[in-house]
Structure 1
Amino acid sequence: MNAYVLLKTVHILSSTLLFGTGLGTAFFMWFTHRSGQIAAIAVATRLTVRADLFFTTPAVIVQPLSGYLLMRLMGFDLHTPWLQVAAALYLVTGACWLPVVWLQWRARNLANTALRSGTVLPPAYHRCMRLWFALGWPAFFAVIAIFWLMIAKPTLWA
């Protein structure tokens, strides 16, 4: 296997892992949250935090590294417009994801406290989840746009 095929495989697999883990954990965490079942919420938030640690974080690191190496190997310039837009969207995604990670930890801690104490979920938990949900949308659409840019490689401006 040559360097290009290896790098492209790593890049595609890590992007798939990044998108799939994000979408999967968002689905399960949001619908578990909507159930109102504190024990289920405690489990879902704990597993979401773990999934981000084990899958999302490594993919977040691999993506720009493998992307940069692919760009160099394919002879693209850093000033290529679609690459600039893709990099900007990646930063937007990261700007959404970093607070989401904190919000997930916070939601997990609040759910675990409510479960242990036998109380209802506090307003802080619900605020975390509303913000978590709101931050997920721009990140989701940014990743979709990045996929399109990587595939189409459009001429955006001269």
Structure 2
Amino acid sequence: MSAYALLKFAHILSSTLLFGTGLGTAFFMWFTWRSGNLAAIAAASRLTVRADWLFTTPAVLIQPITGVLLARLMGFPWSTPWLQLAIALYLLTGLCWLPVVYLQMRVRNLAAGALIAGQPLPPACSRLMNLWFALGWPAFLAVLGIFWLMVAKPTLWT
């Protein structure tokens, strides 16, 4: 297998893991949260945090490495507009994702504590989940934009 094919495979696979894990965990986390079932919320938030560490984090690290190597191998200058926009959207996604990971860990800890204590979720959980939900949308839309840019490679500005 050529270096290009191997890098492209790793880049596509890691982007698939990044997007799929993000969308899947967000779906289960949000709808479990809306159920109000404390045991389910504790389990879903625990597994969401675990999925982020096992799947999302490695993909987040692999994406820029393979992306830089592919851009160099293919001869794309860093001044290429679609590439600059893709990098900006990737950074935006990261700026949303880092606080989301922290929020998920806080919700996980609060839900586990409430479950052990036999108490309801503290009101802080609602604020954390609302912020988590709000940060998820720009990240999701940015990733869709990155996918489009990678496929279309449009001429944006000169």
TM-score range, shorter chain: over 0.9
1:101-132 superposed Cα distances (whole Å, 9 cap, x missing partner): 00000000000011011111111111110000
Q: Which residue of 1 aligns with 2:92?
A: 92
1:33 paired residue number = 33
**d(CA) in 2 for partners of 1:24 and 1:136?**
12
Q: Which residue is equivalent to 1:111?
A: 111
Q: Which amino acid aligns with 1:16?
A: T
Match of 1:62 in 2: 62
Show the counterpart of 1:154.
Answer: 154
* Superposition pairs of residues 8-47 of structure 1, within 5 angstroms: 8-47=8-47
Q: Distance in 2 between matches of 1:106 and 1:128?
A: 8
Secondary structure at the counterpart of residue 63 of structure 1: helix
- 2: CA distance between counterparts of 1:69 and 1:109? 39
**Deviation of residue 94 (structure 1)?**
0.2
Following TM superposition, the consecutive aligned residue runs of length 4 or more in structure 1 with deviations greater than 3 angstroms are none
Please give the per-residue CA displacement for 1:34-81, whole angstroms capped at 9, x wherever unaligned. 000000000000000000000000000000000000000000001110
Q: Which residue of 1 aligns with 2:49?
A: 49
State the SS of the aligned residue for 2:121: coil
Gaps of 5+ in 2: none
Matches within 5 A, 1:66-81: 66-81=66-81
Query: In structure 1, what is the equivalent of residue 134 of structure 2?
Result: 134
Residues of 2 paired with 1:96 and 1:154: CA distance?
25
Q: Provide the alpha-carbon RMSD of the alignment.
A: 0.4
Q: Distance in 2 between matches of 1:50 and 1:129?
A: 17
User: Secondary structure at the residue paired with 2:4?
Assistant: helix
User: In structure 2, how many angstroms separate the alpha carbons of the residues matched to 1:29 and 1:157?
Assistant: 39
Identity of aligned residues (%): 73
TM-score (norm 2): 0.99
